[in-house]
Structure 1
Amino acid sequence: MATTEEDRPLVQRLRSPGAADASPGGGRALKPLPFSLKGFLTTFFAVLLVFLLAAMASRVIKWASDDSSTVERVESSVDGAEGTRLSGLVNPNNGSHPTLTTTADCTGDTQLPVLGGVDVVAYWALSAGSEPVFGTPNLVALFGDYRFYFSSIENLRTFESDPAKYIPAWGGFCSYGVAAEKFWRSDILGPFGDPSKWLILPGDGKLHVFRSERPMTKFLLAPAKNLEAGDAIWNGWFPAERGGPAPLNTACLCSEEMCVNG
């Protein structure tokens, strides 16, 4: 009697030639993948790395662009602020002749800060020849109708406690011009002052500004004489009994770029 496949023992069936392709679960064995898994992972991570590097480069470029825009905005803002501070000032190169500037030209615009907005209290902490410290419109004190800017709340309060001490001598005009140049009058002021050319003399204790180095040097040749002369002239123009503060320089200002050293 012939033996069928079903009659053969299970072990023999499994060992038969046809069973070599059978999987343990009874199905067909899986064929090898057509590509290497290792190669796939290598390619995947390489692409991912390139993507991340590209994203980082894009972000860096954006940051650089933003920084450049910020610098341009800041420079534009500074230029705008400087333009605001200097707007309304009298051209000093037209002020060498007394008929070209008047007291009203130099002191009439009280919306401008005195001496271009320098912190007049800060001078007392500076060494001789140092550049002045500029204040901010956010820290302002009024003296009569005039505005003084300050760089700190402490300096503002110091000024308010004793403004007469810190107000620049002779209105903030060139001290040598007031003391020694005979063509100025109470209605024709204009010996321009440069806030970076300044002195605080022992025994006087007042802030003096000058047009440039040369008149400051001339003033120091005879300081006592010039102080006495300047006080007499200024007080004659603006006597204390007239009431109210003497005029202060808001618009007739010099700088090394604007004024000839004369």
Structure 2
Amino acid sequence: MRGTDPVAYFTEGKAVEGSSEYELEWNGNLWRFSSEENISLFEEDPEAYAPQYGGYCAKALSEGNVVSTDPEAWKIVDGKLYLNYSPEVQKQWVEDIEGNITLADEMWPNVLVGAKIFENEL
């Protein structure tokens, strides 16, 4: 998530940069938060705040690809956080959110086996 606070998407409705002052290791990754309150919320229920598909691009996953994301390309659907590669890719994803989620759910996490991960050059 490039240091972005995952809880802030839910509490502030936007991407907020996390701080090295509020870090937590969870699920093999280092997570950053913008406040003590947000790190506490995450610790109570990390699955509620962590992005779907390990934070990889939801649209790319629906096509069987593993691609990093832009913290500004996000949407909460049915209480779950989805990230995408870019705002342009996000526009494609929202054209069929339900269908794209269904396809990505079928791919995840098996798509990671032997995958080359494409990085977003922000």
- TM-score, normalization: structure 2? 0.85
Whole-Å Cα distance in 1 between the matches of residues 120 and 70 of structure 2? Answer: 6
- Whether the 8 Å contact between 2:72 and 2:87 is mirrored in structure 1 is no
Q: 2:119 aligns with which of 213, 228, 252?
A: 252
Question: Which residue number corresponds to residue 144 of structure 1?
Answer: 27
The letter of the residue matching 1:178 is: L
Q: CA deviation at 1:142?
A: 1.2
Measure how far apart 1:149 and its partner are: 0.6
CA-based RMSD: 2.0
Say if 1:193 and 1:254, in contact at 8 Å, map to a contact too. Answer: no
State the 4+ residue runs in structure 1 displaced beyond 3 angstroms: 235-238, 251-255
In structure 2, the gaps of 5 or more residues are: none
Q: State the Cα distance separating 1:254 from its structure 2 match.
A: 4.5
Structure 1 residue aligned with 2:11, among 99, 106, 125?
A: 125
Instruction: Provide the secondary structure at the position in 2 that maps to 1:147.
Output: strand
Q: Is it true that 1:233 corresponds to 2:107 in the alignment?
A: yes
TM-superposed deviation, 1:213 = 1.9
Give, in angstroms, the shift of residue 118 of structure 1: 0.6
Whether 2:2 is the aligned partner of 1:116: answer: yes
Contact 1:140 1:149 in 2 (8 A): yes
Aligned counterpart, 2:42: 159
User: Are 1:197 and 2:76 counterparts?
Assistant: no
In 2: Cα distance, 1:144 partner to 1:218 partner: 29
Maintained 8 Å contact 2:24/2:31 = yes
Question: Aligned residues: percent identity?
Answer: 27
Distance 2:120 2:45 in 1: 25
Query: Match of 1:117, as an amino acid?
Result: G
Structure 1 pair 125–254 and aligned structure 2 pair: CA distance change class (3 A): farther
Question: What is the rounded CA distance, in whole Å, between the counterparts of 2:120 and 2:26 in structure 1?
Answer: 19
- Structure with greater Cα Rg: 1
Aligned partner (choices 148, 156, 170) of residue 53 of structure 2: 170
AA paired with 1:216?
Q
CA distance in 2, matches of 1:142, 1:175: 23
More helix by share: 1
Larger strand proportion of the pair: 2
